[in-house]
Structure 1
Amino acid sequence: MDHFLYRGGALHAEDVPVAEIAASVGTPFYLYSAATLERHYRVFTEALSPLPHLVCFAIKALSNTAVLKLLGDLGAGMDVVSEGEYLRARAAGVPGERIVFSGVGKTRGEMRTALEGGIRQFNVESEPELLALSEVASAMGVTAPITVRVNPDVDAKTHAKIATGKKENKFGIPITRASEVYAQAARLPGIEVVGIDVHIGSQITDLDPYEQAFLRVADLTRQLRAEGHDIRRLDLGGGLGIPYTRGNEAPPLPAEYGAVIKRTVGDLGCEVEIEPGRLIAGNAGLLVSSVIYVKSGEERDFLILDAAMNDLVRPSMYDAHHDIVPVVEPEAGVEMLPYDVVGPVCETGDTFARARPLPPLAAGDLVAFRSAGAYGAVMASEYNSRPLVPEVLVKGDHAAVIRARPSYIEMLNRDVIPDWL
């Protein structure tokens, strides 16, 4: 469910007409609904009740500080994978005890920053990282709480580029080696073992891989406890998919996902952490764009937009689908035309859709990419020297720019010409 609906023939974000925002901000821009973000966070907390739990928003999905504050004020924790994301979470007012630090390549500098500012736990991904964290924490005279991320060798049945739980993936420690790695962690100075971490992928639309992974984590919990470790926290990752195409079969609901968690690990007495990103943010955002030209080709017609692959890279990178809708509601029964929807970047890969049925459109018309709130703005770039897309947050009848579009002068001023040129 989202809060982007047609009213009186015009697409609205909650109570604000999208066309009004476009007239004020210019296109392209990202547009987020606070009501949708809040609702999606709450359905996760409800799904895990009455288990002790913390829902940690995966910042990599949408890292704007205003969005993080919105979720943090509701009680959300944050899952970070870099020092920059950690600092964003802290800037949004999220306390360190609600931040977990994931990622396969944490540096010693990132470890120090998190230990100085406060951290709930590090999700340790390798033995070299474990040793480095022990050295950093010991030198600082503090103790680093950790889970070890185990790789359960479970196929999440998702896109190969976002699968993380198979043995050939770079993530985590093989679950078959967990016992010896936990024993090593228990011997190291500056380290406190608090739990287990697992994450098997993203955009997962089948609950069976979760059940397999969580059952293996449950068995490992019992084994590690028998070996003397105080396993009191289970970080079960995120990855639950969203419907990118309206009308198709919907992925499992958070309530069904929560039922799997309760059935597999609910009897262990552990606090449960989950790290949803896409399901909280994905359908809470649109990318709004204008038609520059309608170009008739020899075999097809092209809808050339002012948004490009540098603004929304998912179709180019993952062959991902986004529903595209006109901001002015088409009349009932209007004939749909097949368009190749493309951007202005000098790459054939700058293509959003091929032969996509859409109502007749003309230069200046506005269109919106649905389900663009996750992995949209965060993956945007300035390729072709195109300014980063601005972001707008709507709450009720209020709209605010939460990241402005940089000017060309601001872009150019970031470059420095050395004196000797």
Structure 2
Amino acid sequence: MFEYRNGELYAEGVRVADIAEDVGTPVYVYSKAHFESQFSRFDSAFSREHVISFAIKANSNLAVIGVFAKLGAGADIVSRGELFKALKAGVDPSKIVFSGVAKRDDEIEYALVNDIMMINVESEDELNAVDRVAKRLNKKARIALRVNPDVDPKTHPYISTGLKKNKFGVPYDEAYDLYLKAKELKNIDVYGVQFHIGSQLLDTTPIYDASKRIADLMRRLMDKGLEFRVVDVGGGVGIVYDEKTEKEPDVNLYAKQIEEAFEGFDIKLVLEPGRFLVGNGGILISRVIYHKTNGQKSFLIVDAGMNDLLRPSLYNAYHKIAPLKESSLGVIKCDIVGPICETGDFFARDYQIDDVPNGECIAVFSAGAYGFTMASNYNSRPRPAEVLVEGDRYRIVREREMLEDLIKGEYL
């Protein structure tokens, strides 16, 4: 929902330059219409009963979570804090699933007290912990084992989660015996099975292969008397960051393949999209501070840094970057860098962009996922504001941090 009109960038019906002037920079700008459109596309692709549990780690702003809650979405959460935010945003607890490899007793208790759909258990130690906490609370905990299907997701190694060498999930070859153990635990309700092989998947084949492996495991376990009510296929469906080299995944094919793999099972699907719903629905606006040349190397120095958007530094990830206003100054080739005292503080290297005068702004696109959620106060920099656009209106949905926020909770 971001497009140029008469040479200026708009977010839905709002001129982005107006937001930058009003709210200041750096600032994240989100499109509500994009979020709703992506949810509708994903939801309509599936024909059988399902729940879409938005992966909050992608974007945990209350207003963003609230948009999806009003559309009927649940939440995929990985911490007590994310569960707290999901509940505050109005998410139905019966649509919340709790993932993550290191759940503490207090987090397990918080999930059980709030009666969420299920806890995705990732190890035998965790299974015993859930059973112990549930016994203390006199509850029966609904669980799914997160099974690691050992399928290559063909994505960046840092966001690959479904191989034997990854820390996530129960190894496929051990899941059978652990399910049989779970079946005998008095405070455990074996509710389903879960798997998630990685993020930013543009090819649907790995998900299909993993689904078939999980279906085979389920058949063997059902022969032993286990009953599955839910299959949680995780998330990971990717988006296009670079239109020149990437192609958007076929969501309808993704849904068809999953439904085919679990045909004949009387189960409800749980889906955990995050990036797909919000990634291209957000941009980061930053103001150009200086131009600089070191010998043959040119730099465009902006007021946002790696503390505001970490993905380029962490993953060497590509983001499209463009001026808010068309320029007649010509194209330059430069590194687009921020103010952080790290050589790794960059948004792009040797990037060709229409030159932007000092004081004008650029937009870093595809920043709606893993942008603000990964932001920090490194170099004692206040985190940016967040703005949600709806039609021809916008509102601040998270205020810019102030200097006093940097020392909140600290004592001399």
Alpha-carbon contact 2:327-2:356 (below 8 Å) kept:
no
Task: Please report the TM-score for the alignment, with normalisation by the length of structure 1.
Answer: 0.96
Q: Which of 3, 6, 21 is 2:4 aligned to?
A: 6
Q: Which residue of 2 aligns with 1:359?
A: 354
Q: CA RMSD in A?
A: 1.1
Q: Which residue of 2 aligns with 1:27?
A: 25
Alpha-carbon contact 1:392-1:401 (below 8 Å) kept:
yes
Q: Within 2, Cα distance between the matches of 1:247 and 1:39?
A: 23
Q: Within 2, Cα distance between the matches of 1:84 and 1:410?
A: 19
Q: Within 1, Cα distance between the matches of 2:408 and 2:267?
A: 52
In the alignment, residue 412 of structure 1 is paired with which amino acid?
Answer: I
Alpha-carbon contact 1:16-1:397 (below 8 Å) kept:
yes
Alignment of 1:27-106 (within 5 A): 27-48=25-46, 50-106=47-103
Q: Within 2, Cα distance between the matches of 1:251 and 1:167?
A: 28
Q: Which of 157, 181, 198 is 2:178 aligned to?
A: 181
Alignment pair present for 1:371 and 2:369: no
Q: Within 1, Cα distance between the matches of 2:293 and 2:169?
A: 50
CA-CA distance at 1:249 after TM superposition: 3.4
Alignment pair present for 1:150 and 2:140: no
Alpha-carbon contact 1:236-1:275 (below 8 Å) kept:
yes
Alpha-carbon contact 2:29-2:283 (below 8 Å) kept:
yes
Q: Which residue of 2 aligns with 1:400?
A: 395
Alpha-carbon contact 1:95-1:118 (below 8 Å) kept:
no
Alignment of 1:271-350 (within 5 A): 271-330=268-327, 335-350=330-345
Alpha-carbon contact 2:134-2:140 (below 8 Å) kept:
yes
Alpha-carbon contact 2:336-2:351 (below 8 Å) kept:
yes
Alignment of 1:102-251 (within 5 A): 102-251=99-248
Alignment pair present for 1:252 and 2:249: yes
3-state SS of 2:286 partner: strand
Q: Which residue of 2 aligns with 1:15?
A: 13
CA-to-partner distance for each residue in 1:120-164, whole Å, 9 max, x for gaps? Answer: 000110011000100111111111101101111111111111100
Q: Within 1, Cα distance between the matches of 2:229 and 2:80?
A: 26
Q: Within 2, Cα distance between the matches of 1:230 and 1:409?
A: 54
In the alignment, residue 279 of structure 2 is paired with which amino acid?
Answer: G
In the alignment, residue 9 of structure 1 is paired with which amino acid?
Answer: G
Q: Within 2, Cα distance between the matches of 1:262 and 1:164?
A: 22
Q: Which residue of 1 aligns with 2:380?
A: 385
Alpha-carbon contact 1:224-1:231 (below 8 Å) kept:
no
Q: Within 1, Cα distance between the matches of 2:71 and 2:190?
A: 28
In the alignment, residue 207 of structure 2 is paired with which amino acid?
Answer: Y
- State the identity %: 46
Q: Within 2, Cα distance between the matches of 1:76 and 1:143?
A: 25
In the alignment, residue 21 of structure 2 is paired with which amino acid?
Answer: A
Q: Within 2, Cα distance between the matches of 1:178 and 1:361?
A: 55
* Number of equivalences: 412
Q: Which runs of 5+ in 2 are unaligned?
A: none
CA-CA distance at 1:254 after TM superposition: 1.5
Q: Within 1, Cα distance between the matches of 2:99 and 2:266?
A: 23
3-state SS of 1:321 partner: coil
3-state SS of 2:45 partner: helix
Alpha-carbon contact 1:47-1:255 (below 8 Å) kept:
yes
Alpha-carbon contact 1:51-1:266 (below 8 Å) kept:
no
3-state SS of 2:164 partner: coil
Q: Which runs of 5+ in 1 are unaligned?
A: none
3-state SS of 1:123 partner: strand
3-state SS of 2:127 partner: helix
Alignment pair present for 1:261 and 2:258: yes
CA-CA distance at 1:179 after TM superposition: 1.5
CA-CA distance at 1:339 after TM superposition: 1.3
Q: Within 2, Cα distance between the matches of 1:278 and 1:35?
A: 15
CA-CA distance at 1:241 after TM superposition: 1.2
CA-CA distance at 1:330 after TM superposition: 4.1
Alpha-carbon contact 2:58-2:274 (below 8 Å) kept:
yes
Q: Within 1, Cα distance between the matches of 2:163 and 2:350?
A: 35
